[in-house]
Amino acid sequence: MSDIAQHLDEVRQRIAQAAAAASRDPASIALLAVSKTFPADDVRAAFDAGQRAFGENYVQEAVAKIAALAEWRGEIEWHFIGPLQSNKTKLVAEQFDWVHSVDRLKIAERLSDQRPQGARALNVCLQVNVSGEESKSGVEPAEAAALAHRIAALPGLRLRGLMAIPEPAATLDAQRAPHARLRALMETLRADGLELDTLSMGMSADLEAAVLEGATMVRIGTAIFGARDYSH
């Protein structure tokens, strides 16, 4: 068994244990392997170990990886999870299955307009700045409902839910608080008529807190692929 296969197994066990603690079915929590900065060979190793959904932050790097793994395009689900600039929306609209980091109407409109004719709708999540950090992307919680309704009306897109990257916290209770806020916001939006099914929250350090608060998709990189090298 490769290191990546072993790490994937360990992460799946963590998800299962957290799900049991929350009286949830582990199958209701999707694992997104965050492969940003790691080579296509590492994605291959994860694919061989049964992983099918991969998250990328950098458009050019991701597009090269998608091309390198083209023989599996029908089986791999590619998720864009990083900040998205207007000049990169066309590539993302053409190449990806999901975008988790939509936080402005302009970006959503461009993705909708640039989604290829005949392609199935691009799954999108609205990124919310649940911790109020100035350095973080994301719409303010108070503005999320109005933006969500406008995104949901766009052709070419399917608004699936909400995403957040909470501020790091040291204790389980402190980690749970922002995840609980995102879950409450999604419940509000659903009560307001939006058909949402995805809470994209939880990373290597806080996946247990996220699962306890209802995450349906956790974004795990370091615990699968190891520490990232940004020097290149």
CB 101 within 8 A of CB 136: no
Query: Tell me, what's the pLDDT at 231?
Result: 66
230 in any annotated domain? no
- Is 77 a member of any domain? yes
Mind listing the pLDDT tens digit for each residue in 30-77? 999 999 999 999 999 999 999 999 999 999 999 999 999 999 999 999
Residue 229 clears pLDDT 90, i.e. is over it: no
Total-model pTM:
0.96
Looking up residue 71, the CATH number of its domain turns out to be 3.20.20.10
- Tell me, yes or no, whether 71 lies in a domain: yes
The overall average pLDDT reported for the chain is 96
Residue 231 lies in a domain: no
Expressed as residue numbers, the domain containing 37 is 3-225
Amino acid 6 reads Q
pLDDT of residue 232: 58
In this predicted model, what pLDDT tens digit does every residue of 72-126 receive, in sequence order? Answer: 999 999 999 999 999 999 999 999 999 999 999 999 999 999 999 999 999 999 9
In a domain, 232, yes or no: no
Tell me what pLDDT residue 135 has: 76
Tell whether 150 is covered by a domain.
yes
On whether the CB atoms of residues 15 and 211 are closer than 8 A, the answer is yes
* Cβ contact 57:99 at 8 Å: no
Domain total in the chain:
1
Residue 197 lies in a domain: yes
What whole-number percentage of the chain has pLDDT above 90? 94
